Amino acid sequence: MSVLDLKAKQDQISKNGKIILLIIVFAGSLLLIRLWYLQIIKGEYFNQLSKNNHIRVRRIRALRGIIYDRKQKILADNHPGFNLSIIPENISNIEMVSTELSKYLADLDQKDIINRFNITPAHLKYRPLKIRNNLSRDELALLETHKVDLPGMLIEVEPIRSYPFDRQCAHLIGYQGFINEQELEQPSYASYYPDDLVGRSGIEAQYEELLRGTDGKRQVEVNAVGRELHSRVSKPAIAGSNITLTIDIELQSYIHELMKDMVGSAVAINPHTGEILAMVSTPSFSNNLFATRISQEDWQKISRDPLHPLQNRAIQGQYPPGSTFKVIMAAAALEDNIVTPQTIFPCIGYYRLGNSKFRCWNKYGHGKVNLSRSLKESCDVYYYNLACKMPIDRIAHYCSLFGLGEKCGINLPQEKPGFIPTSSWKLKRFHDQWYRGETLS
């Protein structure tokens, strides 16, 4: 390589170095200008932004499991509803906020809001405090229009329970109610919030754990007055498990229609499998009233009704068995060799014991009746004869063998057992012996 070529190459390297240096200087200048702009010109803005913006974790409520009948017809479902909450930490004057809210929400209990606000622990003031469930379209429009006057207000879309066959299945499906303070202190309710609904009766209560699902989480950036700026899902919600019942809603509805003006209950059972096809209790009520916070007026109407519509008479009512008890008496008498299938008792329309007459439903009598005919025609006199031949404690023994006096074990809460009297029970309760006439009556 010649001296001239070497010098030319050195000049080129020097020229390239100057270009690179200019680029570095230019880029550095841009960076300094940007830093100056951010720190000097926009410094106060970003300082205020950092003070006012917070990252909060909000719940994503899980969809509650759907309840189906045996033919996959929906008995309990969810629909979206707009719920109003307030964020206590973003409110400095709760009296002013509650007064402002009362302008747009009818029948708002301001004292209740203020009380719940004041008792909220300091470490929980970032959590939304529920004010109203299932806002109407008019209420939603008013609140959105005046949200600048309502700091700390939060409107969220959350699932609300709905029951398409509310009165037909009210006792069977049950309803939900707000969790109370005592329950919140229990370990089994550790994942619940103060404004959560829990199953209170029926299938909703029995399978609360399965139906509830698992709530998700989303991270939310909010400003000083609680307005959401940005959000992202950090943990998706997991819907509750669906449940299919043995109930046939068409049969359930048919029986309810027949009984809607009566007081009583009816249960339809498949005799081959034991499956319950229908369970109706009347009078009934609408469990949709409990899907959100039930009004005081509706609650008073239901709870003070002398016919007790909340009672599921099929599993909570305690009634005499009537003529169905004749089957057990017949089996007991055969087992103890008191009668044979051919044993005959005359029925003249009544049975005399001392000075008392115990009448048959057929006042003309059934004539000579054997065991088979006594069951077929439900002759009362035949079983008066059996009752006089069997001690009450022996009858009670066979009742126990058939499961009477115990809960049947149905997978519904609040079932009550039956009651079987004995001679020892009467002696302890009334300090008197058992008389034969009491068995007949």
Residue 160 φ/ψ, nearest 5 degrees: -125, 135
Nearest of 232, 223, 212, 192 to residue 66 by alpha carbon: 212
Residue 78 φ/ψ, nearest 5 degrees: -125, 145
Q: Which of 323, 372, 424, 441 is catalytic?
A: 323
Residue with tokens 């207000």: 153
Peptide bond into 321 cis (omega under 30): no
For residues 399 and 389, give the distance between their C-alpha atoms in angstroms, rounded to a whole number. 16
For residues 28 and 12, give the distance between their C-alpha atoms in angstroms, rounded to a whole number. 24
For residues 32 and 19, give the distance between their C-alpha atoms in angstroms, rounded to a whole number. 20
For residues 284 and 280, give the distance between their C-alpha atoms in angstroms, rounded to a whole number. 9
Nearest of 80, 75, 60, 62 to residue 241 by alpha carbon: 62
Active site residue 191: no
What is the per-residue burial (b if ≥16 Cβ within 10 Å, else e) of 9-45? eeeeeeeeeeeeeeeeeeeeeeeeeeeeeeeeeeeee
Tokens matching residue 319: 């009634």
Which of helix, strand or coil describes residue 143?
helix
Which of helix, strand or coil describes residue 162?
strand
Nearest of 164, 135, 138 to residue 69 by alpha carbon: 164
Following DSSP, what letter does each residue of 280-339 receive, concatenated?
EEES---GGGGSS---HHHHHHHHT-TT-TTS-HHHH-----GGGHHHHHHHHHHHTTS-
For residues 140 and 83, give the distance between their C-alpha atoms in angstroms, rounded to a whole number. 9
DSSP β-bridge partners for residue 434: none
Nearest of 181, 195, 237 to residue 213 by alpha carbon: 237
The residues assigned a catalytic role are 323
